[in-house]
Amino acid sequence: MEIADVWQRVAGVQPEPPGWLVLTTAALALLAILPAPVWRVTRTVVTIAHEGGHGVAALMTRRRLSGIRLHSDTSGLTISSGRPTGPGMILTAAAGYVAPSLLGLGGAALLADGRITALLWISILLLAGMLVMIRNAFGLLAVVLTGALFLVVSWYGGSQVQAAFAYLGVWFLLLAGVRPVVELQAKRRSGGAPDSDADQLSRLTGVSAVLWVALFLVVSLSCLLGGASWLLHWKH
């Protein structure tokens, strides 16, 4: 296949999927989030997006990104250096919890425009960029397997398979972006997360950590409502 053919395949507009597929993938995404045993596995995808958000924000604010670690308990760590205070540090700390929802909203915009294959390849490029910053074995495995799944579906999957996978992924990010924020406040209430992103932001800004959690929740819910309206409107 020539480069021009590949580009046409990636940049082209794909057929609109049937309404039942859109609704079915939304239901499947919920099933990947609500049951606790399943969530313990699928939450790793949210962690990838979360730590990726920290990493991108660090680079955009000209901090030095040293590495990213993803752990089997679905926690993660992004290490950057630079000024310990100021806008760059604040934006880097604030980016994690909103990243999955913002990615989901961006994905919904692409799907609403019929850019299914483009969404899959953009995801591959983002994962490849993150891969070079991973600094532990589990993180490498998680990102490689996720990227490989996107690659296989985008290269070998038919239009219906690609659409189902893309919609499932976007619904998952939109819906799953809410749960970690709720879990964060539950942990904070019991004293289990004294160094959470919200608490770090509170120390950096003087604004209550509860208000930062509220901001995370508003962003995630707004992305969910906006993204869902795009996805569901397209099928009419």
How much is the pLDDT for 13? 79
User: What digits encode the pLDDT tens for the residues 140-195?
Assistant: 999 999 999 999 999 899 999 999 999 999 999 999 999 999 999 999 998 888 89
- Alpha-carbon dihedral of residues 150, 152, 156, 162, nearest 10 degrees? -20
Model-level pTM? 0.94
* % of residues, the chain, pLDDT over 70: 94
CA distance 194 to 184: 10
Q: What is the mean pLDDT of the chain?
A: 93
| C-beta neighbour count of 36 within 10 angstroms | 6
**What number is the average pLDDT over the span 199-218?**
97
How much is the pLDDT for 236? 43
How much is the pLDDT for 1? 53
Name the phi and psi angles at 66, rounded to 5. -90, -35
- Alpha-carbon dihedral of residues 105, 110, 111, 116, nearest 10 degrees? -130
Contact 30, 174 (CB under 8 A): no
How much is the pLDDT for 235? 46
User: What digits encode the pLDDT tens for the residues 71-92?
Assistant: 999 999 999 999 999 999 999 9
Q: Does residue 234 have a pLDDT over 50?
A: no
